[in-house]
Amino acid sequence: MSLEPLQPEPKPDVTLTLAGAALGLRRVSVLMPGVVVFAVAFGAAASAKGLSLFEAVLMSAVVYAGVAQLVAMELWRPEWSWGAIAGLALVTATVNARMVLQGASLQPWFRHYPGAVNGLHLFLFTDANWMIGTRYHAEGGRDLGVLVGAGVALWLVWVAATVPGYLLGALVADPRTSGIDLVMPIFFAAMIVPLWRGRRAAVPWVVAGLVALVTARLIEGYAFIIVGSLSGALVGALRDDTA
Amino acid sequence: MTLPDPGAWGAVLAILAMALATYLCRISGVALMAFIPLTPRVRRGLAALPGSIVVATVLPLVERLGWSAALALLAAVGSMVIRRSELLALVVGMAVVSGARALGL
């Protein structure tokens, strides 16, 4: 990023190729076992909470956000009022608010593409896509096919793996004893290693972590992700080194 | 005027409401950034964002989930340092958390 001349703006490399999609497929394949375990856990939780198989698969297909789906199972109920539906949508938005920042962090790449293309591929945007995209973009990659390939493959596996989880239901142990609640944190923590650019660049991360810890004590729910991340970005923006 | 009760469609409507909320989260960061010029300062902020998201997400979760989670994440990061494989990191992390929880940590 630091090597890009600021002006004149170079002609952006706007590509979306099948070769990129194949690369995305390879990059996402290492994340698949974790994703399958997560989807199976969701399917099992959904059957335990009394969703029909159709509803469980529909949720995986159109919501397509693992943590939010598991949180929704905690709040699921047999009867729905409009207020309860609005409440669930609000909780979903707070759990997924990290996507707002994840999308913003990759916008310097996406901005060169037409709005309709972004509107479509972002439907498939997940934590895994963000990790793959962040790493690929940092390596100098600019082919959006990578995200599309990874996103389509992950979506298919996520939706498909919901079914055996639903049908096996009770066979899947409590997520805590099997460690499924740690799949997402482990992938996130592992991401620190390829992101590492030396101690100086890690100062905003430390601030983000401390602010998040304090916020988690003060505010219930998942607000700590947003407050902490924005604090880190702010520290990064205000420091006077040459970017 | 009041809306008719969601009734039998309640669950499907709840799922569609979740889908709409999630999609808005997916597009809004990209859409909002279209109005912000990419000055060097904004670029520095965005460059610090991925690591900040990771740390801000993980640290409070570790605090909630306890020592077994902390050990598992340290083991996963260590595994990534030695051999850069997300799959291996996941296996190592899951093995450590299962072991630690079996021991009652």
List the single residue in A with minimal CA-CA distance to B2.
A82
| Judgement on whether residues A172 and A215 belong to the same structural domain of the protein | no
Average pLDDT over every residue of A128-144: 92
Q: Quick check: is A10 in a domain?
A: no
Final residue in a domain of this structure, among A157, A176, A195: A195
Q: Is the pLDDT of residue A240 over 80?
A: no
Q: Do A92 and B17 touch (CB under 8 A)?
A: yes
Same domain, A121 and A153: yes
Do A98 and B53 count as a contact with CB atoms less than 8 A apart? Answer: yes
- Determine the average pLDDT of the residues in B83-95: 89
- Structural domains of chain A, count: 2
Q: How far is A186 from chain B (nearest CA, A)?
A: 6
| Number of CB pairs, chain A paired with chain B, less than 8 A apart | 292
Which long-range contacts (C-beta less than 8 Å, at least 24 apart) are formed by A132-137? A132/A24, A132/A27, A132/A28, A132/A31, A133/A106, A133/A109, A134/A105, A134/A106, A134/A191, A134/A195, A134/B50, A135/A27, A135/A191, A135/A194, A136/A23, A136/A27, A137/A106, A137/A109
Task: Tell if the CB–CB gap between A105 and B58 is shorter than 8 Å.
Answer: no
Model pLDDT, residue A89: 94
For the segment A141-188, what is each residue's pLDDT rounded down to a tens digit?
Answer: 899 999 999 999 999 999 999 999 999 876 665 666 667 778 888 888
Same structural domain, A144 and A206 = no
Q: Residue written as tokens 């998040």? A: A212
Residues of the domain holding A232: 198-243
CB contacts of B77 in chain A (<8 Å) are 189-190, 192-193
Contact B85 A122 (CB under 8 A): no
Which of A197, A230, A196, A195 lies closest to A212, judged by CA? A230
One domain, residues A71 and A137 = yes
CB half-sphere exposure, A228, CA atoms < 13 A: 33
User: Are residues A147 and A95 part of one domain?
Assistant: yes
Domain annotation covers residue A1: no
Instruction: Give the gap in angstroms from C-alpha A157 to the nearest C-alpha of chain B.
Output: 16
Cβ distance of B25 and A99 shorter than 8 Å: yes
> Per the CB < 8 Å rule, is A229 touching B52?
yes
Q: What are the tens digits of pLDDT across the range A74-95? A: 889 888 999 999 999 998 998 8
Whether residue A92 lies inside any domain: the answer is: yes
The verdict on residue A7 lying in a domain is no
| A229 and A153 part of one domain | no
Per-residue pLDDT, A188: 85
Q: What is the pLDDT of residue A243?
A: 45
Contact B47 A84 (CB under 8 A): no
> Given B26, B50, B56, which is nearest A99 (Cβ)?
B26
Q: Does A188 share its domain with A202?
A: no
Q: Name which of A55, A69, A93 is nearest B25 (Cβ-Cβ).
A: A93
d(CA B52, CA A204): 7
Q: What is the pLDDT of residue A2?
A: 47
Query: Among all residues of chain B, which has the CA nearest to that of A240?
Result: B41
- Burial letters A93-108, b for 16+ CB under 10 A, else e: bbbbbbbbbbbbbbbb
Reduced to 3 states (helix: H, G, I; strand: E, B; else coil), residue A15 is strand
Q: Which residue has the tokens 């640290």?
A: B59
Task: Among B19, B24, B38, select the one facing A62 at the smallest CB separation.
Answer: B19
What pLDDT is attached to residue B1?
A: 53
Considering the domain architecture, whether residues A140 and A172 belong to the same structural domain is answered as yes
Instruction: Pick the residue of B12, B16, B28, B49 with the most A CBs within 10 A to test the interface with A by mutation.
Output: B49
Say if residue A104 is in the same domain as residue A84. Answer: yes
Instruction: Please give the angle made by the CA atoms of B90, B96 and B102, to the nearest 5 degrees.
Output: 130
Specify which of A61-65, A73-77, A235-239 reaches the highest per-range mean pLDDT: A61-65
Residue where a domain terminates, one of A162, A178, A195: A195
Nearest residue, CB atoms, B48 vs list A211, A215, A233: A233
Residues B69-73 have a mean pLDDT of 94
Across the interface, which of B14, B62, B64 has its CB nearest the CB of A85?
A: B14
How high is the pLDDT of residue B56? 93
Model confidence pLDDT, tens digit, residues B72-83: 999 999 999 999
Which one has a higher pLDDT value, A11 or A113? A113
